[in-house]
Amino acid sequence: MAKKPPTKRTPAPVNTGRPAGLFTWVAVGLVVVVVAALVIIKVATGSSSTGATAYQATSATVVSEVSKVPASVFNTVGVKSPAVPISPPIPVKGQPALTAKTGTATLPEVFYLGAEYCPFCAAERWPTIVALSRFGTFSGLGDMISSTKPGEAYPGTPTFTFVKAHYKSKYLAFKSVEQYTNVWDNATNFYYTLQNPSKTELADFQKYDTSKYIPGMTSQQNYSIPFVSIGNRFLISGASFTPQLLAGVSRDTIAAGLSDPTNPVTAAIVATANYETAAYCVLTKNQPSTVCASPGVKAAKKALGIK
């Protein structure tokens, strides 16, 4: 884990992960979020575009493919992922609800914290976008790949960035922080800072992305990324499936394949998205019913013990 100044740790083997449910793939070595002390120092400084990769908007075709996965694909896949194991969201009980004001409405909030350099974040963005698109619409998604710096795990994993993204829904609020770019800063021996969490977001991250709430996590793995709080009712820490599955496959190919339930990449993304959808349905009180009562989501609910 990087500290201030960030330091490089010996990367773990590429298949190293932290058990949680079936298996959660966590950010290790250089792909670990900085410790709380560094985040606290930077939280009041705002965002920085220094060293950022030039923003490139995702094509309308790819946005349509990731946001309009056919219902038949969700229902055929269910929670089955033959190629790689999937780690579902982790339920937590008795915690204050995470909500956000959207216009005049107060909605359950889904909060994501990650970084553009991180291949584990790269993998997790796919199902997160797919699942959230069942409840609302994204705009401003950008193309991104994880770091290609020598020594990084799963270099160049194709993905998206939330840095300019907006999400509109009558059911859920989505907030995101891409804390670092995928560009290395020799001056700090770490990646350039991009965005910082608010104090409230930081507090949520520091509280829940820890061994107290994530089964199988060690104290050394606290503050792993990506981190997703689903209304403080469910948590995701680390990628739900290994980024290795996306190696050597282009963004366009992955997106186009989301209409094929027999595609192994599609199965992993859609199975994870069904799990996330089931968790979102808890927040929305099973609305919209066409989504929350669908066979694929019912299979995820059963696996998660959700009625």
DSSP 216-278: T--GGGTT-SSEEEETTTEEEESBSS-GGGGTT--HHHHHHGGG-TTSHHHHHHHHHHHHHHH
65 belongs to a structural domain: yes
The answer to whether the CB of 52 falls within 8 A of the CB of 273 is no
1 belongs to a structural domain: no
Closest-CA residue to 271 (of 241, 306, 232): 241
Asked which of 4-13, 79-88, 237-246 is least confident by mean pLDDT, the reply is: 4-13
262-283 per-position pLDDT tens digit: 999 999 999 999 999 999 999 9
DSSP 270-288: HHHHHHHHHHHHHHTTS-S
pLDDT of residue 155: 97
Q: Which two tokens stand for residue 109?
A: 């909030």
Q: Which two tokens stand for residue 189?
A: 């021996």
Q: How many domains does the chain have?
A: 1
pLDDT of residue 83: 96
> pLDDT higher for 47 or 246?
246
pLDDT of residue 53: 76
Tell me the pLDDT of the chain averaged across its residues. 86
31 belongs to a structural domain: no
18 belongs to a structural domain: no
Cα–Cα distance measured from residue 279 to residue 302, given in angstroms and rounded to the nearest whole number? 11
Cα–Cα distance measured from residue 16 to residue 84, given in angstroms and rounded to the nearest whole number? 14
- Residue 237 clears pLDDT 90, i.e. is over it: yes
The helix/strand/coil state of 25 is: strand
26 belongs to a structural domain: no
Closest-CA residue to 50 (of 225, 184, 189, 197): 184
Closest-CA residue to 25 (of 66, 92, 81, 84): 84
Length of the chain: 307
Backbone angles phi, psi at 113, to 5 degrees: -130, 125
pLDDT of residue 52: 72
pTM (predicted TM-score): 0.87
- Percentage of the chain lying above the pLDDT 70 cut: 83
251 belongs to a structural domain: yes
Range of the domain at 204: 36-304
17 belongs to a structural domain: no
User: What are the residues whose beta carbons fall under 8 Å from the beta carbon of 173, sequence distance 6 or more?
Assistant: 99, 100, 101, 102, 107, 108, 109, 110, 167
- Residue 82 clears pLDDT 80, i.e. is over it: yes
258 belongs to a structural domain: yes
User: What are the residues whose beta carbons fall under 8 Å from the beta carbon of 24, sequence distance 6 or more?
Assistant: 17, 18, 87, 216, 236, 237, 238, 239, 240
pLDDT of residue 103: 86
Cα–Cα distance measured from residue 84 to residue 9, given in angstroms and rounded to the nearest whole number? 27
Q: Which two tokens stand for residue 67?
A: 């946001």
